[in-house]
Structure 1
Amino acid sequence: MSKPKVASDWMAGCAGCHMSLLDMDERIVKIAELVDLRSTPITDLKHPDETGVDVGILEGGINNTSNEEVAKMMRKRCKILVALGDCAVFGGVPAMRNFFTIEETLRRAYVETESTDAEGKIPDDPELARPTRVRAVHEVVPVDIFVPGCPPDADTIFYVLSELAQGRKPVLKDDKLHWH
């Protein structure tokens, strides 16, 4: 039996979930023995295999059209989709932006900040992703497994990946749900 293929990506968030994944320390070797780690933000491969993967993991909320494309591609190319961390599960800290209009947030970020020069302007180029309301992953594509936490701890991520690698759906309760 071949090892299940796993791909991950991050969107609107701080990358803390991938850092927590790396916090597994030597257990990451065990995960590498159980799965074929494909595309991730921490590898050279940046997109899930066109032929598909068994498990797709998304970290971060969806806050622009590029994030929407990432989520849709991952969903299309994976059998099981995992929303990893509070930003992916709930929208997290990035969703605080939803209390303001997109125009207000862009103006603050590019024109009004203390570090902006006198000619600060909001970027307007068709090559740039268009900002949207911040959403959890499940608001854009169906999600199979939700792993909350900010970030989820390394033990929980190890458990989830180990269970998925062995063909089991992880059950997150009791000591597997930690809030930091």
Structure 2
Amino acid sequence: MTADPPGRHELLRRFFAGLTEYAFAVRMGVVDPPLVDYVSEMLVRFVQSDVIYGLRSPRGERLIQVADMLAEAQARQGAARRQMHRHIGDFTLFWTGVYPEMADRMRQGRKDSLIDYCDQGKKNYYLASRLPAAAEESAPDDVLMRLSDNFELCVYGLGEVRRQWEQREGESETPLLLG
């Protein structure tokens, strides 16, 4: 009897876990398994654009700019506010680390043009770490605090992850993330 092959989500999880561990531990010498696991899981979640842009206003409008996300976070309380701040941290970390060229383009001529994504990422992870978590919250306060304290290091690490997956994608006939 053989086991069923892993599904797409599990393959992505393994792929990003391996790349993230390699980039952080081997390439950078960062040995912090909870932090690395968090970054890896964020990548898996953000493969879906509906998760990247998953925050909505009370009217159901998709929030695509950090300025709008910040305004909405101020209107929330408790665990909902923590989730907003955590998402802003994830959003800014993802774009500045994985696709910095897109982060720059996304801000041009918009509300976000005056927002420093690194500063906002650090600040929002810090704020999230200080707010009460919902029962199903998967991010411990100490991991969010370390993301705040080491934001630039994580940005660099995500750049390493991107370089590794692009290198592996160049060696394959099928795009790794789309195949």
Q: TM-score range by the shorter chain?
A: under 0.3
More helix by share: 2
Higher RCO structure (Cα 8 Å, ≥6 apart) = 1
